[in-house]
């Protein structure tokens, strides 16, 4: 991780060094140093290259020293050049990843690695890597504006070469390795400042530090640089308490996706998707919306395209009557202009007609993205070129990346198959959940909850004290007290065992609903037989059941969840989970988009009210150090959100 006190460094001397020292590994052609020297030579690197012996150290300052020595010698060599090199790139493995020690410096040299394959920066013709994958990239084509930072050097090199097969030539790549000084997120922030990429691509092997990741995403968003990330190591979060709804609906995956979405960044599921997303954003940038027009000569291909586009989150709207009439002016009577626009097999090969149809569609204002299913030489007719507005892609069928490589290198947006084309378009669509993130502090150190978990009644008092409305309730230790409470509140009532909040009352058989004057005596006697006092609560009839909860996560800090609630909250899958650092405003926007805006006017204000209740619970967790705070259900009663149950777990 980052060296204490080390901020985001100036990476310009690393990416475009004036002086490079290759230390060790040069005596054999297969040595790491020799292979790196060959790359520099074949790339026509313009800086000065030194090859001092490992035992000699450096007699002058250099921008980058490449340590191509075995792990056993790395620290000794590093000590000799410490302070002379701005950056030391350590290739050797066999350190922390195998249980060994870490490298240290004392005089200011910043270490990249160890266990890194190095870096590549096309504008500087800087090929500081021994990896064989870069043998084919020494021409340093670049020009895409895309830069990849990867925690796995070998995997990252594979992504760079896979992109090149499409004609998508990355401007740069850095493998972070074991991250002695620089983690991948801090490296990526340095890249944003030093290389000013148009697209930032990431491969991360899990979220190692939530704070550095959030700082990176915020930095990229402030610069207007889209981020595409392939994230490994996502796992289901462990529950902080038995049968916790909050833990069940706020998994690491859900929280991570919400964080990325809040900053307009994208998570992808494979190396292929990473390449395609980077390609799309590099060539076309962001679209204004998600409405997609399809132009095809085959009805079947149009149907498949509509399904694929829907599957990647894009919309395929029916075109207006006026636009359909304008399209049909160029088409035979058997064509279909609804969307997909089926121009028929006899017309798709007529470039002049295709150009008129595509221009009419693209200029209509009714679509934000366009896919044309045709031949690889129809980019001009379709208007599928870099920077086109709206972004437009030509999709061929059953081709290989090599087929379209010269087209993409020429700035034409042509993809070898329909699935690739749809994914490229999806990468250009605006994120659904972007918003402004607001940092909020998290509790540090031990909280104020001491001893065993609060009981159910204590949880209700804590939640009410935090500002959440709670249904009227009272304690009862005898049948007579239950009857008196029922008469006071009015029947029916709810009876609950006042157990510790870590115990799920319903699953333990400690809850009775719809208790009336006629059934209260028997129900109360049955529950009180356990020796545990009861809570008697007014049974409210709510128009909707909601849920809000907060859990304390070792990685994310406080995680807030809210959405539809009730007994089957996990099965409903209609919740939003996010780091509390994103703030109540972001939660309200996301709840509105996911739940309440679907019926205009019916649920006005409910998203903001639910978000406010959720963050009241977050404040309670923050003050007390609680591991879990949740209310399920929260009832909507006469337009108010009222807690019908509460759990606070130490």
Cβ–Cβ under 8 Å, residues 235 and 280: no
Q: Is a pLDDT exceeding 80 seen at residue 6?
A: no
Q: What's the confidence (pLDDT) of residue 283?
A: 96
What's phi and psi for 383, nearest 5 deg?
80, 25
Q: What is the dihedral of CA 138, 140, 141, 142, to 10 degrees?
A: 140
pLDDT at 572: 64
Q: Which residue has the tokens 């879990």?
A: 628
Confidence of residue 447 (pLDDT cuts 50, 70, 90): very low
Q: How far apart are CA 283 and CA 332, in angstroms?
A: 33
pTM for the predicted model, two decimal places: 0.85
Structure tokens at 146: 């895309």
State the pLDDT at residue 510. 83
Note whether 95 and 102 are within 8 A (CB): yes
- 3-state SS assignment for residue 632: strand
d(CA 132, CA 120): 13
pLDDT at 80: 96
Q: What residues are paired with 172 via a beta bridge?
A: 121, 147
Query: What would the DSSP string read from start to end of 98-124?
Result: GT------SSSPEEE-SS--EEEEGGG
Distance of alpha carbon 48 from alpha carbon 34, whole angstroms: 16
Percent of the chain's residues with pLDDT above 90 = 79
Confidence of residue 442 (pLDDT cuts 50, 70, 90): very low
Query: Which runs of E-coded beta strand occur in 218-332?
Result: 227-231, 266-268, 292-296
| Chain position carrying tokens 């074991």 | 178
Is the CB of residue 598 less than 8 Å from the CB of residue 214? no
Order of strands, edge to edge, in the sheet holding 534-538? 473-476, 534-538, 493-497, 511-515
pLDDT for 355 equals 97
H/E stretch holding 463 reads helix 456-465
> Does the pLDDT of residue 232 top 90, yes or no?
no
Rounded CA separation 141/118 (Å): 18
The two three-digit tokens of residue 91, written as one number: 């290739």
- Has residue 73 got a pLDDT over 50? yes
Dump pLDDT digits (tens) for 261-305.
999 999 999 999 999 999 999 999 999 999 999 999 999 999 999
E-state strands within 44-125: 48-50, 62-67, 85-90, 110-112, 118-121
Nearby residues of 389 by Cβ (< 8 Å), 6 or more positions away: none
Confidence category of residue 431, pLDDT binned at 50, 70, 90: confident
pLDDT of 643 over the 70 cut: yes
Return the sign of the alpha-carbon dihedral for residues 571, 572, 573, 578: negative
Q: What is the DSSP string of 354-379?
A: HHHHHHHHHTSSS-SEEEEES-TT-H
Query: 10 Å Cβ neighbour count for 107?
Result: 10
| Residue 389 per-residue DSSP state | S
pLDDT at 448: 59
Angle formed at CA 604 by CA 603 and CA 606, multiple of 5 degrees? 70
Mean of pLDDT over the chain: 90
What is the reported pLDDT for 245? 60
Query: Could you give the CA distance from residue 157 to residue 271 in angstroms, rounded to a whole number?
Result: 11
Percent of the chain with pLDDT over 70: 90
Question: What digits encode the pLDDT tens for the residues 371-415?
Answer: 999 999 999 999 999 999 999 999 999 899 999 999 999 999 999
Separation of first and last alpha carbons in the chain: 31
User: Mean pLDDT across the stretch 199-228?
Assistant: 93
575 CB contacts (<8 Å, ≥6 apart)?
Answer: 249, 250, 547, 561, 562, 563, 564, 569
Per-residue pLDDT averaged across 137-161, rounded?
A: 95
In Å, how far from its chain's centre is CA 521? 54
Asked if the model's pLDDT at residue 436 lies above 70, the reply is: no
- Is the pLDDT assigned to residue 237 strictly greater than 70? no
Q: Which H helix or E strand runs over 560?
A: strand 557-564
* pLDDT tens, residue by residue, 536-563: 999 998 889 999 999 999 889 999 999 9
């Amino acid at each position: 991780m980052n060296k204490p006190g080390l901020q985001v460094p100036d990476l310009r001397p690393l990416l475009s060094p004036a002086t490079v020292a290759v230390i060790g590994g040069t005596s054999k052609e297969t040595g790491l140093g020799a292979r790196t020297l060959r790359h520099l030579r074949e790339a026509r690197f313009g800086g000065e290259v030194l090859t001092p012996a490992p035992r000699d150290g450096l007699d002058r300052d250099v921008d980058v020293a490449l340590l191509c020595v075995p792990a056993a010698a790395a620290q000794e060599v590093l000590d000799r050049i410490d302070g002379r090199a701005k950056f030391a790139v350590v290739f050797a493995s066999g350190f922390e990843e195998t249980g060994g020690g870490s490298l240290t410096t004392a005089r200011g040299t910043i270490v990249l690695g160890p266990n890194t394959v190095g870096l590549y920066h096309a504008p500087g013709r800087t090929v500081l890597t021994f990896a064989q994958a870069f043998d084919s990239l020494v021409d340093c084509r670049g020009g895409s504006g895309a830069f990849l930072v990867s925690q796995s050097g070998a995997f990252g090199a594979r992504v760079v070469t896979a992109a090149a097969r499409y004609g998508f030539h990355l401007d740069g790549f850095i493998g972070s390795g074991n991250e002695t000084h620089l983690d991948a997120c801090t490296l990526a922030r340095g890249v944003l400042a030093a290389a000013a990429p148009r697209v930032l691509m990431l491969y991360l092997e899990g979220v190692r530090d939530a704070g550095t990741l959030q700082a990176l995403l915020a930095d990229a968003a402030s610069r207007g640089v889209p981020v595409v990330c392939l994230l490994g190591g996502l796992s289901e979060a462990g529950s902080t308490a038995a049968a916790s709804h909050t833990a069940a609906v706020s998994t690491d995956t859900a929280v991570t996706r919400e964080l990325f979405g809040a900053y307009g960044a994208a998570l992808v599921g494979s190396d292929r998707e990473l390449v395609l997303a980077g390609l799309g954003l590099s060539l076309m940038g962001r679209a204004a919306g998600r409405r997609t027009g399809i132009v095809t000569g085959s009805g079947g291909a149009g149907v498949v395209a509509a399904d694929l586009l829907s599957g990647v989150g894009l919309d395929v709207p029916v075109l207006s009557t006026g636009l359909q009439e304008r399209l049909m002016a160029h088409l035979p009577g058997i064509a279909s202009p609804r969307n997909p626009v089926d121009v028929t097999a006899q017309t798709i090969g007529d470039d002049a007609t295709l150009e008129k149809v595509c221009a009419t569609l693209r200029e209509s204002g009714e679509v934000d993205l366009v896919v044309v299913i045709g031949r690889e030489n129809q980019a001009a007719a379709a208007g599928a070129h870099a920077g086109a507005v709206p972004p437009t892609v030509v999709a061929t069928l059953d081709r290989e990346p090599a087929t379209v490589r010269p087209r993409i290198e020429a700035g034409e947006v042509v993809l070898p198959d329909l699935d690739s084309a749809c994914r490229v378009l999806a990468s250009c669509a605006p994120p659904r959940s972007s918003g402004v993130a607001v940092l909020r502090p998290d509790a540090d150190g031990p909280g104020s909850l001491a001893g065993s978990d609060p009981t159910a009644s204590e949880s209700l008092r804590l939640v009410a004290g935090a500002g959440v409305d709670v249904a009227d309730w009272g304690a009862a230790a005898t049948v007579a007290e239950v009857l008196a409470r029922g008469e006071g509140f009015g029947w029916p009532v709810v009876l609950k065992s006042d157990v510790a909040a870590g115990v799920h009352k319903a699953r333990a058989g400690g809850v009775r609903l719809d208790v009336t004057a006629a059934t209260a005596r028997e129900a109360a006697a049955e529950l009180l037989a356990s020796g545990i006092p009861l809570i008697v609560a007014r049974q409210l009839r709510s128009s909707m059941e909601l849920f809000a909860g907060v859990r304390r996560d070792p990685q994310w800090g406080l995680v807030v969840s809210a959405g539809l609630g009730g007994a089957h909250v996990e099965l409903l899958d209609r919740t939003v989970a996010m780091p509390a650092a994103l703030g109540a405003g972001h939660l309200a926007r996301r709840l509105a988009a996911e739940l309440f805006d679907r019926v205009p006017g019916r649920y006005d204000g409910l998203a903001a009210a639910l978000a406010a209740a959720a963050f009241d619970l977050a404040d309670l967790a923050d003050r007390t150090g609680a591991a879990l705070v949740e209310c399920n259900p929260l009832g909507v009663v006469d337009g108010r959100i009222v807690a019908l149950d509460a759990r606070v777990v130490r």
